[in-house]
Chain A
Amino acid sequence: MNRVPLEGKVLNENARVAAELRERFREHRVLVVNLISSPGSGKTTLLEKTLESFSAAERVSVLTGDLQTENDANRLKRYGFPVKQITTGGTCHLDARMIEKHIADWDLDKLDLLIVENVGNLVCPSSYDLGEAAKIVLLSVTEGEDKPLKYPSIFFKSELMVLTKTDLLPYVPFDAALAIENARRVHAEMEVVRVSCLTGHGMQDWLNWLEQRKHAFLAGLPETVA
């Protein structure tokens, strides 16, 4: 018997494609964010409100992933920005290849922001790098404040936690402060915004976060050579 060392990441093929994508996004100066949550936490609703708030001049596009149906894309297309549905046909997460394939005919120079809505699932999407600059996790107030500890992986990897459906706080026993504390146990630097898409409360905080993240992303790029 002979034991030989093996090196590299298990998902090295995905990592390779994701690294290529990340390089392309940097080159074309497109901020890419990857929205992840359980099914129904409010990803598409947050995107609807976000697109609604943008002026027509905003250079934004959306990729939305689901197991089945084009429903989410149809909801999002109403706002006039480029939107594509990625139907995974059973796969519980998006991977870097799917992103590569679906942006193939988009001119990245015409974009400043690409928002990816991942398949509703709090576990699997966290393992697949899509070449994004930031992962964002959504947690709705009806899910329980223990979720960051039960599903630590996605909280560990996300820069921002969006606490959604805060309009329901009066009706559910949900300790927002504890949820945030739990998230920060897993990820000390976690940023948090609280949003209700129903009342619009906190929407501006979310939009500000996006705007600041865009600036931070551009500031982190090497100066373009004239």
Chain B
Amino acid sequence: MHEMGIANSILDGVAKELRQRPGSRAVKVGVRIGELAGVDPDALSFAFEALTLDTPLAGLVLDVEYRAPRSRCRDCSREFEVRNFELLCPGCGGVNAECISGDEMEFAYLEVEEDEPCAAGRKSSE
């Protein structure tokens, strides 16, 4: 269950971003995870919920974009998405392709809401 560690790192990333944005509340965090990253989607959601429960980040939504691996055909250079490791090239029909991506585990975005504008915030916007 290394998803616990991964969920923890996602939350670290959120906390770091929030420190740059005082007065903001995180609503949703987006990450991109390749199918070759070795991460189980259900285990990750479970870990994420368990770690945020009863914390200031409770309710924070985790949006995971699971990405299929991509291959490049060595005969015709076409790049295509791989399903079930079928390496058949849609360009030339060859089977001489190599996987070029699919193990990524990256941050994508953070959705934040401004808290009730505080006195300091109001002053600076006037």
* Given A4-B112, A123-B2, also A10-B99 (CB < 8 A): no
**List of A residues within 8 angstroms of B113 by Cβ:** 1-2
* A127 & B39 in contact (Cβ 8 Å cutoff): yes
CB neighbours of A219 from chain B (8 A): none
Q: Are B9 and A6 within 8 A (Cβ)?
A: no
Instruction: Give the contacting residue for A152; candidates B9, B35, B40; CB below 8 A.
Output: B35
Q: Does B38 contact A (CB under 8 A)?
A: yes
In the complex, the answer to whether B13 meets A10 with C-beta atoms within 8 Å is yes
Q: Which of A64-72, A101-109, A181-189 contacts B (4 or more CB under 8 A)?
A: A181-189
CB contacts between A and B, total, < 8 Å = 107
The residue in chain A whose Cβ has the minimal distance to the Cβ of B33 is A10
A6 CA to B29 CA, complexed, in Å: 9
Please name all residues of chain A whose beta carbon is closer than 8 Å to the beta carbon of B17 when the two chains form the complex.
4, 6
| Contact status A156-B31, CB under 8 Å | no
When the two chains form their complex, are residues A153 and B36 in contact, meaning their CB atoms are under 8 A apart?
yes
> Which parts of A1-48 form the interface with B (CB within 8 Å)?
1-14
Q: A157 with B111: in contact, given A4-B17, A186-B85 (CB under 8 Å)?
A: no
Please indicate the chain A residues that have their CB under 8 angstroms from the CB of B102 in the complex.
156
Task: Tell me if B105 is interfacial: C-beta within 8 Å of chain A.
Answer: yes
Q: Are B2 and A92 in contact (CB under 8 A)?
A: yes
Given contacts A10-B13, A127-B2, contact A3 B99 (CB under 8 A): no
Interchain CA distance A9-B31 in the complex, whole Å: 9
Q: Is there contact, CB below 8 Å, between A9 and B106?
A: yes
Tally of contact residues, A, Cβ under 8 A: 36
The answer to whether the Cβ of A154 comes within 8 Å of any Cβ in the partner chain is yes
Confirm or deny: B89 has a beta carbon within 8 angstroms of a beta carbon on chain A.
no
Given contacts A127-B6, A156-B103, contact A189 B98 (CB under 8 A): yes
Whether the Cβ atoms of A6 and B99 lie closer than 8 Å is no
Kindly state the separation between the CA atoms of A5 and B10 in the bound complex, as whole angstroms.
Answer: 14
Give the chain B neighbours of A93 by CB distance below 8 A.
2
Interchain residue pairs with CB less than 8 A apart (12): A1-B111, A4-B21, A6-B109, A10-B31, A10-B105, A10-B107, A14-B9, A91-B5, A92-B1, A153-B103, A154-B38, A188-B98
Given A2-B112, A127-B105, 14 other A-B residues pairs in contact with their CB atoms under 8 A: A1-B113, A3-B112, A4-B110, A6-B13, A7-B107, A9-B105, A10-B31, A91-B2, A123-B40, A124-B38, A127-B2, A128-B2, A149-B84, A188-B98
